[in-house]
Amino acid sequence: MKKICDGKKIVVLGCARSGEATARWALDQGAKVVLSDIKPLTAWPDELVTWAKDKADVTLDAGGHNLEQWQDADMVVVSPGIPLDIEPVRFMREKGVRVTGELFLAASLWKGRMAGITGTNGKTTTTKLLGEICRAAGLDTVVAGNIGEPFINSVMADEVHGNDGQRVAVLELSSFQLENFEQRPLFEGWRIPHFDVMAWLNFAPDHLDRYVDLRHYGDAKARFMEFQTDSDWVILNRDCRQMDLWEEKARAKKLYFGVMRDDAPSGAWFLKGGGEMILRMSGDREERYDLSGWRLKGVHNLENLAAAMLSARCLEIEKQAIERAIAGFSPPSHRLEFVTEKQGIIFYDDSKATNVGAVLTAIKAMDRPVVLIAGGRGKGEDYSALANSEVCERLKAVVLIGEEADRLEKVFASCVPTVRLQTDGDVAGCQIMKKAVEKAMERAFAGDVVLLSPACASFDLFRNYEERGRAFKEAALGL
């Protein structure tokens, strides 16, 4: 039987999870595959190398990008972490070769409904919650994108098991993934993706080491609007005015969420103290939800909840299923996650907070004085907002680690005591984190919070934010 990639040559750029999944899918669909990464082969996953070396139609391009092996390619699939302006990608585009990402590829092949979640912060919590609501309603649900397994794996599973559009996909969508979306099919006869429901949670400065400016970052986020029609739904944060610039581009029907107001339109609304969520889906009809069992801290998590609830109702999920999912929901790891209490001091792991907006949200969510652990690899952000009076009033001290420690110290030094740890290249990240936790403990008293909320990426000391969060947890539990 003819397969959809028979006779095609596909270059997969990046050998991490999405790259590996794409390579396996492409080979399964009859393509010749070139798997390319700047890392030497010894740094590639062993299982991937073993699999690839056993396949006659897979070529490994390690330690750089050998464009001779890319000749006659029909498509290049780029991993999300790789910028689109690197020389090999520009070269292939100039040749007229289609360049895309794994998520656009998978979404082009998906036959079921799709609900997407994007935003600067809160995506993972909201995506996971919406997935739980869908499952509580008995829907066969895939949660993928920037969370969990690569989406292309679910496409492969559907092909194997003969699923024909019955499953719902709940997708966490980063700007890196959305910037690969284009209004033209990858190959003749292929579909263009379509989002039945999209929620844009918030917008704040981030990834300015990758984008020219904030406008370009927002343009990437708003790309999803091109993949909706006037019969779909878009859900927007009424309290985030930074999104106004793009809101008018939305073609889908609009719903809003935020803090309750007298002129609240259709959407989901709550009081800052929580307690109840009110949904107004159409006309004067209201649905009220008791939030006494909601366990996540902060107004930002009420916003996440509101977006997930509205998305669920747009998917025609009944109120009872939403209430069941809310009652049993636990926060994802490394997102304002309670770790332990020692001598009356509470430790929270917010390692996922890799931008200033996320840190401000975390600090404001605390109802106790905070000793903050921050720092890591910078992303081109201005940190000055961290030194405003409202933030500094909540901080007792700041312990700084990583490459951005000097810049952060200059911001905090005028308003709060700081401790900057020297980062020796020979010292493991877990050892530095252990010392940071000890220094934070020395400056905290019973009734205080020690909060890891770095405002930076993790790649100077750790492989990813998860590893950084685990190091924090181990250090706190080991005190």
Distance in angstroms (rounded) separating the CA atoms of residues 98 and 76 = 6
Instruction: State which fold the 337-477 domain adopts.
Output: Protein-Tyrosine Phosphatase; Chain A (3.90.190)
- List Cβ neighbours of 307 (8 Å cut-off, separation of 6 or more): 117, 122, 126, 199, 201, 235, 237, 257, 268
Report the run of H or E that residue 307 belongs to, with start and end: helix 299-314
Q: Which of 103, 85, 97, 87 is nearest to 11 (CA)?
A: 97
User: What CATH number should be reported for the domain whose range is 9-96?
Assistant: 3.40.50.720
Asked if 314 and 308 count as a contact pair (C-beta separation under 8 A), the reply is no
pLDDT tens, 297-321?
889 999 999 999 999 999 999 999 9
Amino acid letter, residue 436:
A
- Is the confidence at residue 93, as pLDDT, over 90? yes
- Is the confidence at residue 346, as pLDDT, over 80? yes
Q: What are the backbone angles phi and psi of residue 413, rounded to the nearest 5°?
A: -60, -30
Is 103-328 the same fold as 9-96?
no
Longest Cα pair distance anywhere in the chain, in angstroms?
70
Q: Which of 478, 392, 405 is nearest to 438 (CA)?
A: 478
Mean pLDDT, rounded, for 59-65 = 94
- Is the confidence at residue 448, as pLDDT, over 70? yes
pLDDT tens, 320-341?
999 999 999 988 899 999 999 9
Q: What is the CA radius of gyration of the chain?
A: 23
| pLDDT at position 201 | 98
Q: Which of 109, 105, 302 is nearest to 202 (CA)?
A: 302
Q: Give the CATH H-level superfamily of domain 103-328.
A: Mur-like, catalytic domain (3.40.1190.10)
Mean pLDDT, rounded, for 72-98 = 93
| pLDDT at position 1 | 67
Mean pLDDT, rounded, for 368-393 = 93
- List Cβ neighbours of 270 (8 Å cut-off, separation of 6 or more): 259, 260, 276, 277, 278, 291, 302, 305, 306
DSSP helix/strand/coil, 75: strand
* Average pLDDT of every residue of the chain: 93
Least confident span in 59-68, 108-117, 228-237, 424-433: 424-433
- Is the confidence at residue 373, as pLDDT, over 70? yes
Percent of the chain scored above 70 by pLDDT? 98
Mean pLDDT, rounded, for 40-56 = 94
Mean pLDDT, rounded, for 237-266 = 93
Distance in angstroms (rounded) separating the CA atoms of residues 39 and 227 = 35
Mean pLDDT, rounded, for 142-160 = 91
Distance in angstroms (rounded) separating the CA atoms of residues 265 and 253 = 13
- Is the confidence at residue 91, as pLDDT, over 80? yes
- Is the confidence at residue 283, as pLDDT, over 70? no
Buried b (16+ CB within 10 A) or exposed e, 122-153: bbbbbbbbbbbbbbbbebebbbbbbbbebbbb
* Domain definitions of the chain by residue range: 9-96, 103-328, 337-477
* Pairing of the two strands 113-118 and 276-282: unpaired
DSSP 411-444: HHTTTS-EEE----TTS-HHHHHHHHHHHHHHH-
Q: How many other C-beta atoms are found inside a 10 Å radius of the C-beta of residue 277? A: 24
Distance in angstroms (rounded) separating the CA atoms of residues 217 and 331 = 27
Helices (H), 315-355: 319-328
Q: Give pTM, 2 decimals.
A: 0.87
Q: Which of 49, 36, 44 is nearest to 89 (CA)?
A: 36
Q: Which residues pair with 449 in a beta bridge?
A: 346, 370
- Is the confidence at residue 3, as pLDDT, over 70? yes
